Amino acid sequence: MAIFVIELLSLISFKLALLSGIFFVSIAIVVLMFTLYKLEYGLWIALAELMIGSQGYLFYLDLPGFRISMRLAIFLIVFFVWLLKYFRPIDLFNLLKKDRLVQNFIIFLCFIALGVINGIISGNGIKNVFFDVNGYLYFGLFFVFLEVFKTKRQVAAFMKVFLAALSYVSVKIFFTLYLFSHGIPYITDYFYHWIRDTRVGEITYAGGNFFRIFFQSQSWSLIGIFIILSLLVLFIQQQKKPSIVGNVLERSLQDGKWLFLLLVFIEASILISFSRTFWLGGLAGVLALAVYLIFIARLSLKKLCQAAGVLAASGVLSVLLVLAIANFPIPTPSGLFSADMFKDRFAMISGEAGVSSRWNLLPVLVEKVKEAPFIGTGFGSAVTYKTEDPRIKNEANPEGTYTTYSFEWGYLDTVTEIGFIGLFVYLLLIGQILYAGWKQRKNYIVAGLLIGLIVLMVTHAFSPYLNHPLGISYLMLCMGLFKIDL
């Protein structure tokens, strides 16, 4: 309910800078009060905002020449409350002496700083350098995650926030698809501009009466599929509630039906995104889950068939749900949507604007990497290439020439900024987090989180997430959770 109220206030105020500013200040005050009372409350708010807000602009504060997002405000509040109330240099020094993960994190921060200095020296422009590196600033909450996640109670509290946010995002996507597939006048135009202008997502026509509805924050939904699947496998294996999340959630997890329904909802929302990157990441996750169940969990053939049946049933029901929403007869839909569009979309690996633009960028980006392969050319490094994006390739720019410092190829983006050495240090940090989880691999919720991290790493290859608060926050979440004996 709280998430719905926040979104409703955003919907009302998004075209009114003054009203958005009033809500911005009011929410910031509330966040500050909750965070001062308990640091974990501030962290739950920050994570919930990530899961529903994509770019963080549901509310904003307009200043001369600069717009402060709600995400930035929440981040600063949580960070400074931790800094003033919980930070002790001696504790950090002791942690740094004995914890290799923290040691590698500090080394990685040094490479980020080097990338900033390198970008400025290379003449990339202060503005470009700042906006290129600002996603990494979310690592400022690294020690907040360590401070908050200490017992299973925090894990249970997070799970409640996590499942509630994913449920809301799925319903919001269904409502958006219904509006646009049925061409409801006035409402659709206002809703479209709200989604676009707050940078929550994209809505584009995909043929028939179907509209592609893509929210960047659905990366959390994709990860959620495998956490929920892991819990459902626990139901199958033990035929009881997943006690792994603690007694706090028992009332909301009376049996597996609610989780299965949520799984169907989330899978349907991922289908509606029409994101081949998400679908590819999902496929990698299914393969990783299969390997886990066969070789690590060592499920019996009967249990494996039951788990496969759950996945297949949820997949079929998610497709039917999308068809039902798009073709719902009241009011009469603007066309007819067929499930064949999913197959056609996944099979389209060339020709389509987004795909062609990625392939056009690749050789140009490789040449940029060759300029300084070991330490990179710094943040804000830009390249020029030809894109098929209709928003760029138009009458004013018939060649589609585009210059940018933001690249779709995530790992090459990192190499451009901080070189192969910097990428190696980052991958080493991620590897340490994976290893911490691997030590608890028999635990199903840990298995779901590990598979989610694998999915995120696959997704990052084609759409950058590990240099964005959405992916960085998940890394820190796994780090915090894996330090608890679940």
**165 and 221: one domain?**
yes
pLDDT greater than 70 at residue 484: yes
Q: So what's the pLDDT on residue 28? A: 95
Model confidence at 84, pLDDT cuts 50, 70, 90, reads very high
**124 and 79: one domain?**
no
Which DSSP category does 244 fall into?
A: G
**61 and 156: one domain?**
no
**Could you tell me the residue range of the domain that residue 45 belongs to?**
1-87
Q: What are phi and psi of 211, to 5 degrees?
A: -120, 130
Minimum mean pLDDT among 81-95, 287-301, 380-394: which range?
380-394
Distance, in Å, from the CA atom of 460 to the CA atom of 455, rounded to the nearest integer, reads 9
| pTM exceeds 0.85, yes or no | yes
Minimum mean pLDDT among 92-101, 327-336, 452-461: which range?
327-336
Q: Going by C-beta distance under 8 Å and a sequence separation of 6 or more, which residues neighbour residue 215? A: 54, 169, 173, 200, 201, 273
pLDDT greater than 90 at residue 355: no
**185 and 250: one domain?**
yes
**308 and 169: one domain?**
yes
**79 and 101: one domain?**
no
Last residue of a domain, one of 63, 87, 111: 87
Q: So what's the pLDDT on residue 111? A: 96
**47 and 138: one domain?**
no
Distance, in Å, from the CA atom of 22 to the CA atom of 402, rounded to the nearest integer, reads 37
pLDDT greater than 60 at residue 52: yes
Q: So what's the pLDDT on residue 244? A: 44
Last residue of a domain, one of 87, 109, 135: 87
Model confidence at 276, pLDDT cuts 50, 70, 90, reads confident
pLDDT greater than 50 at residue 243: no
pLDDT greater than 70 at residue 433: yes
Instruction: Assess contact for 457 and 471: CB atoms under 8 A.
Output: no
SS3 325: helix
Average pLDDT of the residues in 411-434:
96
Q: So what's the pLDDT on residue 385? A: 85
**71 and 99: one domain?**
no
Last residue of a domain, one of 32, 63, 87: 87
pLDDT digits (tens, 9 = 90+) for 447-462: 999 999 999 999 999 8
**77 and 35: one domain?**
yes
**200 and 140: one domain?**
yes
**322 and 390: one domain?**
yes
Arithmetic mean of pLDDT over the chain: 87
Higher local confidence (pLDDT), 188 or 343: 188
Q: So what's the pLDDT on residue 408? A: 85
Instruction: Assess contact for 389 and 402: CB atoms under 8 A.
Output: yes
**Sign of the torsion formed by the C-alpha atoms of 369, 374, 377 and 379:** positive
Candidates 474, 464, 433, 465; CA nearest to 165 is 474
CA dist list (Å): 215 to 4, 66, 173, 179, 283: 17, 24, 9, 16, 19
Minimum mean pLDDT among 87-91, 340-344, 429-433: which range?
340-344
Number of domains into which the chain is organized? 2
CA dist list (Å): 455 to 135, 236, 376: 20, 23, 26
Distance, in Å, from the CA atom of 277 to the CA atom of 459, rounded to the nearest integer, reads 6
Q: Going by C-beta distance under 8 Å and a sequence separation of 6 or more, which residues neighbour residue 378? A: 115, 116, 117, 118, 119, 120, 121, 122, 124, 129, 417
Instruction: Assess contact for 471 and 134: CB atoms under 8 A.
Output: no
The CB density around residue 186, as the number of other CB atoms within 10 Å, is 7
Average pLDDT of the residues in 353-379:
86
Q: So what's the pLDDT on residue 246? A: 43
**148 and 179: one domain?**
yes
pLDDT digits (tens, 9 = 90+) for 133-179: 999 999 999 999 999 998 888 998 999 999 999 999 999 999 999 98
Q: So what's the pLDDT on residue 247? A: 43
Model confidence at 334, pLDDT cuts 50, 70, 90, reads low
Minimum mean pLDDT among 103-107, 138-142, 395-399: which range?
395-399
List, as own/partner pairs, every contact residues 342-346 make where C-beta atoms lie below 8 angstroms and the sequence separation is at least 24, other chains included.
Answer: 342/271, 345/206, 345/274, 345/276, 346/276, 346/279
